Amino acid sequence: MEKEERLADYPESQNICQDKGKRREKRMRYFLIIIWSMFLVLSVSTSGWAAATAQGVALSADTDCSEADLDITLITVDAHREYGLVTLLDGTVLQEFDHDTGLKNFNGTYVGYGLSFPSAQLPGKVIGSYAYIGETPPNASDTAEFFILYNCSTREVLYQCFGPYGVCPQRANNLREGTIGTEMTITGSGFEANKGKVLVGTAPLKILEWTDSSIQCQLTRALSPGTYDVTIRPRKLSPIILGDSFTAIPPDINSTEPTSGSTGDEITIKGLFFGTKKGKVTLGGKTCKVLKWEMNSTTGESEIQFVVPKRLDPGTYDLIVSTTKVGSGTTNFTVE
């Protein structure tokens, strides 16, 4: 009672106490507002996060040698960004873009995506078409990627890949088909700066250059025809396995110039993947003298020059190009 009388006698003290209480209440209110705002921001960010999941990839039905089309299937929720890249085996870039995706406001399953490039006719060329759709920067949790390697003349799909970002090659010369002597460049991230190892199946590749984001390597051992996993082994990190991403193929003969000849004539054979290691040429079962054996280690384009052997009667014979353990390619050649 005595305390109350004293406070009543000093109204300014009563006002000070009331002001302190109001300040405490205001600080608590601000604190609660901050906590609630953080919760709202977190909720909006989580619920509105872009996501894209790859479901499939195919070559468009109307693809030809002047237009590369990639048809994809994916499930997407507010995807933000898309990137596309079309390349040749020698690394030539035919088209590249990086911009906001047209699927930005689309949620659900999407089928059909055209990746095209204006170009002169490129018959016989092997083309790689790549795309990713999702978030920027891309990562495996919210970005889908797609890749197809194909021959534009025959429309034969040589390799295809789809999945979360980081599992597919991006360029035609990243991972592909080849033979002994073939060089390839693997691009990505997290390879470490120090040189590790790369294997095709169980065959180690020769490392030509190694950085954290790019590996240039060469196949120096003969592989039997077939499809192989490529395994990247950084020194300190876990191995990265790219399943069924390299196809070893036998020599593929495209043409002979001229298409006929007589004993002693020099003939040129052109084709793909003869290998950098000299093999054997036979005509009608007879071994031919080889004057030249070359293969471009990047594109696989190959050329052989040989001499038509003696003691062959006029007629058409099997002309065979063979490499040890890899296999052979066969065409017809007429002896005059």
Residue ranges of the domains in the chain? 2-47, 51-248, 252-335
Q: What predicted TM-score, i.e. pTM, was given to this entire model?
A: 0.55
Alpha carbon distance 30, 175 (integer Å): 57
Is 175 or 251 the better-scoring residue by pLDDT? 251
**In the CATH scheme, what is the code of domain 51-248?**
2.60.40.10
Q: Which of 95-99, 136-140, 323-327 has the lowest mean pLDDT?
A: 136-140
Is residue 304 a contact partner of residue 281, using CB atoms and an 8 Å limit?
yes
Dump pLDDT digits (tens) for 254-309: 999 999 999 999 999 999 999 999 999 999 999 999 999 999 998 888 999 999 99
Is 198 or 25 the better-scoring residue by pLDDT? 198
Q: Which two tokens stand for residue 287?
A: 């071994």
* pLDDT (0 to 100) of residue 119: 55
Query: Locate tokens 């085996």: which residue?
Result: 89
Q: Measured between alpha carbons, how far is residue 275 from residues 14, 156, 219, 238, 327 in Å? A: 98, 22, 10, 32, 11
Residue 41 has pLDDT above 50, yes or no: no
Determine the length of the chain: 336
Is residue 144 a contact partner of residue 162, using CB atoms and an 8 Å limit?
yes
Please provide the average confidence, as pLDDT, over all residues in the chain.
80
Residue 314 has pLDDT above 60, yes or no: yes
* 252-335 and 51-248 share a CATH fold: yes
Q: Measured between alpha carbons, how far is residue 291 from residues 137, 184, 206, 273, 281 in Å? A: 52, 28, 28, 18, 11
Is 102 or 302 the better-scoring residue by pLDDT? 302
pLDDT bin (cut points 50, 70, 90) of residue 189 is low
* pLDDT (0 to 100) of residue 151: 78
pLDDT bin (cut points 50, 70, 90) of residue 233 is very high
What's the topology of domain 252-335?
Immunoglobulin-like (2.60.40)
Alpha carbon distance 127, 51 (integer Å): 28
CA 200 to chain centre: 16
